[in-house]
Amino acid sequence: MNNHGESNGDSNVHKKKIEGNDHCENGDGSDNGVILGVDGGATSTVCVCIPLFSSSKTLAYPLPILGRAVSGCSNHNSVGVTVHILYPTENAARDTLEEVMAEALSKSGSDWSAVHAVCLGVSGVNHPTDQERILNWLREIFPSHVKLYVQNDAVAALASGTMGKLHGCVLIAGTGCISYGFAEDGREARASGAGPVLGDWGRYALYTQCVLSSLHNAVRVYEIVMCDNCSGYGIAAKALTAVIRAHDGRGPQTMLTNKILKALCLSSPDELIGWTYADPSWARIAALVPEVVSCAEACDQVATKILVDAAQDLALSVKAVVQRLHLCGEDGNGSFPVVMVGGVLEANKTWDIGKEVVKCIQEQFPGAHPIAPQVEPAVGAALLARNFLMKESTENFHS
């Protein structure tokens, strides 16, 4: 995917003046303008507003955050809300993005006209057509001078560890999972995160239940889940499957049965079926990962195998990206960062999935060095916008 960005040439500019707070959350507002960074996922969307630093000015650390706002899902592929039958979920995602940006600007004491650049790192952006769709939304909101950049949220996550530099690989393992990388020459590659049908656990990940109400003429559409068996959802889905298999005699007995039933306040594995299909929200199911880790720490073989398989799959997704981009160099020992992001990798337990993943990666690529995010992904997106803007300014100056 190219670094898709452009200035807004549409005359249909959003004219509304942002009302609200006239104070900043962290630092003073900038008379020279601001930059917006957005991290949009299937669970939540975060927007930060930072000052427009001049190219000659060294970045302050920690970065001054002028305004920050949080909202719900902005992935146009993932829905979990009640919407009118004539009001598609794409509109809901668009409204979420506009509202969260408006709130961040309001908290910074700025308005739309103060924005010089925007970078959206949004899950579900997997193709130039996805980028163009979101760019069309942005063109209707921002003045024509604003530079607009749209990326997959994994790119913003990488930037959160490299402080805006696009080099190395990021591994995200939270509710969903993806590996994304950039070579020094700008080439990029990804692995995993291909969606419910193409993922290893698509048959469990996709539950769409429509309930038509004649009173409200509305359709409730449950989440369309993008995950693999190494994601939080995938790990928990395999654990739930193991419980059912143990219950009906197709699989070995496991501590997962009592652990999960107790966590969900259920009395029998039979009740898991109703619990799962009543609301197959991926975040709801992924929340069971700590129970799997707890059972693995107690030496339950079924839980241990689930986590070992997940760690190996996560490492494999990183290895695929590294090999395609030759990040390890000709001799295989080249140094490159691996930014580790997501709750699955941050267990901080005796059974540490993150450590197992790093061990698997470094067995083949000793030059891989894991790093934790230095800033939140939304700030990473803002730094990307700044770097893209500076690069364009330099290129224009020399042209």
Average pLDDT over residues 63-82: 70
Q: What is the pTM of this model?
A: 0.77
Q: Which of 76-85, 125-134, 139-148, 267-276 has the lowest mean pLDDT?
A: 76-85
Average pLDDT over residues 179-203: 71
Neighbours of 42 (CB within 10 A): 28
Following CA atoms 276, 279, 281, 285 in sequence, which dihedral angle do they give, to the nearest 10 degrees? -30
Three-state SS at 217: coil
Q: What is the DSSP letter of 362?
A: H
Neighbours of 65 (CB within 10 A): 23
One-letter identity of residue 215: L
CB of 282 closer than 8 Å to CB of 330: no
Q: Does residue 178 register a pLDDT over 60?
A: yes
One-letter identity of residue 25: E
pLDDT value at residue 375: 93
Residues 6+ apart with CB under 8 A from 133: 76, 90
Residues 6+ apart with CB under 8 A from 168: 158, 161, 162, 181, 182, 327, 336, 337, 338, 339
pLDDT value at residue 130: 80
Q: Does residue 376 register a pLDDT over 90?
A: yes
Residues 6+ apart with CB under 8 A from 203: none
Residues of the chain with CATH 3.30.420.40: 34-163+377-397, 166-372
Half-sphere exposure of 197 (CA within 13 A, CB side): 2
Q: How confident is the model at residue 55 (pLDDT cuts 50, 70, 90)?
A: low
Who wins on pLDDT, 211 or 194? Answer: 194
pLDDT value at residue 214: 33
Who wins on pLDDT, 87 or 142? Answer: 142
Alpha-carbon distance of 68 to 322, in angstroms, equals: 34
Q: How confident is the model at residue 284 (pLDDT cuts 50, 70, 90)?
A: confident
As a 3-state breakdown, the chain gives helix, strand, coil percent values, each rounded to 5, of: 40, 20, 40
DSSP states along 231-292: SHHHHHHHHHHHHHHHHHTSS---THHHHHHHHHT-SSTHHHHHHHHH---HHHHHTTHHHH
Fold for the domain defined by 166-372? Nucleotidyltransferase; domain 5 (3.30.420)
CB of 260 closer than 8 Å to CB of 288: yes
Alpha-carbon distance of 112 to 14, in angstroms, equals: 8
pLDDT value at residue 323: 94
Residue 268 is encoded by which pair of tokens?
């029998």
Of the chain, the percentage scoring pLDDT greater than 70 comes to: 74
34-163+377-397 CATH:
3.30.420.40
Q: Quick: pLDDT tens for 346-356.
A: 766 788 999 99
Taking Cα atoms as reference points, which of 358, 340, 347, 392 lies closest to residue 154?
340
Q: Does residue 104 register a pLDDT over 60?
A: yes
Average pLDDT over residues 93-110: 90
Residue-wise burial string across 223-261, b where 16 or more C-beta atoms lie within 10 A, e elsewhere: bbbbbbbbbbbbbbbbbbbbbbbbbeeeeeebbbbebbb
Three-state SS at 391: helix
Average pLDDT over residues 27-39: 73
pLDDT value at residue 63: 82
Residue 117 is encoded by which pair of tokens?
């650049």
Q: How confident is the model at residue 120 (pLDDT cuts 50, 70, 90)?
A: very high
Average pLDDT over residues 186-194: 84
pLDDT value at residue 131: 84
Q: Does residue 56 register a pLDDT over 90?
A: no
Alpha-carbon distance of 121 to 223, in angstroms, equals: 20
Average pLDDT over residues 306-327: 95
* Mean pLDDT score of the chain: 79
Q: How confident is the model at residue 221 (pLDDT cuts 50, 70, 90)?
A: very low
pLDDT value at residue 159: 94
pLDDT value at residue 2: 54
Alpha-carbon distance of 382 to 374, in angstroms, equals: 13
Alpha-carbon distance of 134 to 149, in angstroms, equals: 10
DSSP states along 298-316: TT-HHHHHHHHHHHHHHHH
Q: Does residue 332 register a pLDDT over 70?
A: yes
Three-state SS at 295: helix
pLDDT value at residue 77: 55
pLDDT value at residue 57: 57
